[in-house]
Amino acid sequence: MKAGFLVVTFIAALSGIVSAQANARDISGYWELTYMDSQHVPRPQLVPRVTRAVLDAQAQKDFKAVRWCNILGMPAIMASPRPLDIRQSEKTIVIAAEINAATRYIYLNRTTHISKDIFDPTTNGDSIAKWEGDTLVVDTIGFDPNKGVTAIPGGGFRTANTHLVERYRLLNNGSLLSVRFTWTDPGVFRTPHTYEFRYARLPRDYEARLPLNCDPFDETRTAFLTARP
Amino acid sequence: MQVKLFAAALGTLAFVFGISTTLTAQRSAADGARALEGGWVRLDTSGSGSFGGLTANFARAALTPEGAAKLKPQRDPDDVEPDNRPHKAGEPYIVTQGRCGGFGPGGVEPNSAALFIIPARDEVLLTREGPGARHIYTDGREHPPLSRIAPGLGHSTATWENGDLVIDTVGLPEGGVTAGGWRTPETHLTERYHVEDDGMHMRITFTWTDPKIYAKPHSYSFQFERVPADGYAFENWCDSGDPLQRQSVVPPEQLP
């Protein structure tokens, strides 16, 4: 009798361990950035080359992207005011947003980036990832400096030489997702620029909506965007 | 004592067998998910040279009189009125309003951009190479009432049947369907995603059913080829602020 009980207990315990490990390494779900948890972004230390004039010129490019409803790209997608749908399968993690941003693809089945000789830079860049314990480490390069909104929270902007490392980790029994962003770019930042966003898990019955529509020929919108206060 | 031990062993065996049976059932769905995961590119299997030519070979929809009365010519809302005159070599002409940022309703059929399938817990995500995604719920939820479905891509739920992903969608906006069909929010679309045994080819069979519109279910299939293992998603770029966005391709010099 004892033997049977022990076998059953052992199998149940094993299955519990496997399940717990699987959950810690599965960030699938709908995640919403909470207002308070996106506010504590330190100011980066910018290199002297990044003057006020450089920042203003970059802001003008970003404004044009918003004005014409261009796809926004990184890092704007991760600061979406609407939920992110993050889905994880064996080889890929995909982040789909309800804003005008191209879907992000993060590859778990690659350990190196696509060669610069063949990769056309994009607003989201080329992302590869691996698990370090319960932390998903995502490494991204290959940003297009001229497309989308390039502004980085806190200050600075992405360029063709920008390197981003994100560390994703579930907190509070999986009800929160912490993402720690570290941006490095010798042409923009004097030291790595790091900040953390926290996303709250939405209920399982949440239903995704179409991305917010953006009409570049909406005159009212254009007038609102270009009006001087 | 011996009887008790035997009963315990039998119980354990039944428990393990139960787990194994469940795993076998799960494996079927898991195998299907593993086979489907990744990027797929639509094929022109008939050599017609265009997807329009390919769909022209599909069996036409058998419509009810009510369904036939609904048919209206379909047109991309971004198109401009054609000027209907020949254009010289090197003379570009305006063909669209150049509008980006819209996520056209009813965009459930694949186009020439790669389609990516991400089977995950509770949901299968179908994405392309730009904004927007189809969210296919596999957690057992039911469709909400039509009045609660947001305009756009309808509401999709799915099950796994012998490794095939079978999606049921309602709530699509009213509009045209390939090969002479029509749809309203009440119309059901069933899509069956089947990966061939070679793992490199996939077939999606679309079936539209609606007793008000179709005399019999309207069905057709698309063929796909898997994006290579080292392939990756591109990013479609479109800039409404670029005047070239509105133009045709520049007409080339014609042979005499």
Question: What's the complex ipTM?
Answer: 0.86
Predicted confidence (pLDDT) at residue B2 exceeds the cutoff of 60: no
Contacts of B16 in chain A (CB under 8 A): 11
Average pLDDT rounded to a whole number, residues A139-156? 97
- Contacting residues for B16 by C-beta, under 8 A, at least 6 apart: A11
Using DSSP, state whether A167 is helix, strand or coil.
strand
Contacts of A8 in chain B (CB under 8 A): 11-12, 15
pLDDT band of B97, cuts 50, 70, 90: confident
pLDDT digits over B39-55, tens only?
999 988 877 777 778 88
Q: What is the pTM of this model?
A: 0.86
In Å, what is the CA distance from B122 to each residue of A28, A90, A203, A208, B106? 9, 15, 12, 13, 23
In chain A, what percentage of residues exceed pLDDT 70? 90
pLDDT on residue A40: 79
Q: Counting Cβ atoms within 10 Å, is residue B57 exposed (0-12), middle (13-18) or buried (19+)?
A: exposed
* Fold (topology level) of A27-226: Lipocalin (2.40.128)
pLDDT on residue A4: 52
pLDDT on residue A29: 95
pLDDT on residue A10: 47
In Å, what is the CA distance from A55 to each residue of A70, A141, A225, B154? 20, 21, 19, 43
Predicted confidence (pLDDT) at residue B38 exceeds the cutoff of 90: yes
Contacts of B99 in chain A (CB under 8 A): 215-217
Note which residues in 185-224 of chain A have CB less than 8 A from chain B: 204-205, 207-211, 213-217
Average pLDDT rounded to a whole number, residues B100-113? 67
Element (H, E) at A193: strand A193-201
- Contact (Cβ atoms closer than 8 angstroms) between residue A129 and residue A138: yes
Predicted confidence (pLDDT) at residue B7 exceeds the cutoff of 70: no
pLDDT on residue A116: 93
Of residues B84 and A172, more confidence is placed in A172
pLDDT on residue A111: 95
Encoded tokens for A8 = 């059953």
- Contact (Cβ atoms closer than 8 angstroms) between residue B34 and residue B27: no
Of A74-78, A126-130, A196-200, B94-98, least confident by mean pLDDT is B94-98
CA distance between the termini of chain A: 81
Interface contact flag, A213 B101, Cβ < 8 Å: yes
Distance from B77 to chain A by nearest Cα, in Å?
13
- Nearest residue to B120 via CA among A128, A28, A85, A138: A28
- Nearest residue to B133 via CA among B156, B100, B159: B156
pLDDT digits over B114-139, tens only?
999 999 989 999 998 888 899 999 99
Predicted confidence (pLDDT) at residue A8 exceeds the cutoff of 60: no
Note which residues in 17-56 of chain A have CB less than 8 A from chain B: 26, 28-29
Of A22-31, A129-138, B180-189, least confident by mean pLDDT is A22-31
Contacts of A91 in chain B (CB under 8 A): 37-38
Query: What chain A residue is nearest to B35 in terms of C-alpha separation?
Result: A90
Predicted confidence (pLDDT) at residue B104 exceeds the cutoff of 80: no
CB atoms within 10 A of CB A189: 20
- Range B12-26 burial, b when 16+ CB lie within 10 A, else e: beeeeeeeeeeeeee
pLDDT on residue A9: 47
Predicted confidence (pLDDT) at residue B37 exceeds the cutoff of 50: yes
Note which residues in 114-143 of chain A have CB less than 8 A from chain B: 114, 120, 122-124, 126
Average pLDDT rounded to a whole number, residues B75-94? 78
Of A89-93, B9-13, B23-27, B43-47, least confident by mean pLDDT is B23-27
Domain segments of chain A: what residues?
A: 27-226
pLDDT band of B199, cuts 50, 70, 90: very high
pLDDT on residue A153: 96
- Range B73-95 burial, b when 16+ CB lie within 10 A, else e: eeeeeeeeeeeeeeeeeeeebeb
Mutate one of A89, A98, A111 to test the B interface: name it (highest B CB count within 10 A). Answer: A89
Distance from A18 to chain B by nearest Cα, in Å?
14
pLDDT on residue B152: 82
Q: Is residue B151 within 8 angstroms of chain A, CB to CB?
A: yes
- Contact (Cβ atoms closer than 8 angstroms) between residue A99 and residue A77: yes
In chain B, what percentage of residues exceed pLDDT 70? 87
Average pLDDT rounded to a whole number, residues B194-214? 96
pLDDT digits over A66-120, tens only?
999 999 999 999 999 999 999 999 899 999 999 999 999 999 999 999 999 999 9
Q: Is residue A150 within 8 angstroms of chain B, CB to CB?
A: no
Element (H, E) at A114: none
Distance separating alpha carbons of residues B36 and B202, to the nearest angstrom: 8
pLDDT on residue A15: 44
Predicted confidence (pLDDT) at residue B17 exceeds the cutoff of 90: no
pLDDT on residue A211: 80
Contacts of A202 in chain B (CB under 8 A): none
pLDDT on residue A76: 96
Q: Counting Cβ atoms within 10 Å, is residue A112 exposed (0-12), middle (13-18) or buried (19+)?
A: exposed
Query: What chain A residue is nearest to B7 in terms of C-alpha separation?
Result: A1
Predicted confidence (pLDDT) at residue B73 exceeds the cutoff of 60: yes
Encoded tokens for A95 = 């982040």
Distance from A197 to chain B by nearest Cα, in Å?
22
Q: Is residue B216 within 8 angstroms of chain A, CB to CB?
A: no
Domain segments of chain B: what residues?
A: 37-246
pLDDT digits over A20-57, tens only?
444 889 999 999 998 777 777 999 999 999 999 999 99
- Contact (Cβ atoms closer than 8 angstroms) between residue B88 and residue A206: no
- Contact (Cβ atoms closer than 8 angstroms) between residue B200 and residue B41: no
- What radius of gyration do chain B's Cα atoms show? 24
Interface contact flag, A213 B234, Cβ < 8 Å: no
Using DSSP, state whether A66 is helix, strand or coil.
helix
DSSP-assigned letters across all residues of chain B = -HHHHHHHHHHHHHHHHHHHHHHHHHHHHHHHHHHH-EEEEE--TT--SSHHHHHTTSPPP-B-HHHHHH------TTBPPP--S---TT---B-B----S---TTTTS--SS-EEEEEETTEEEEE-SSS-EEEEE-SS--PPPGGGSPSSS-EEEEEEETTEEEEEEE-PPSEEETTTEEE-TT-EEEEEEEE-TTSSEEEEEEEEE-TTTBSS-EEEEEEEEEPPTT---------TT-GGGGB-PPPPPPP-
Q: Which residues pair with B208 in a beta bridge?
A: B189, B218
Interface contact flag, B116 A94, Cβ < 8 Å: yes
Distance separating alpha carbons of residues B183 and B173, to the nearest angstrom: 7
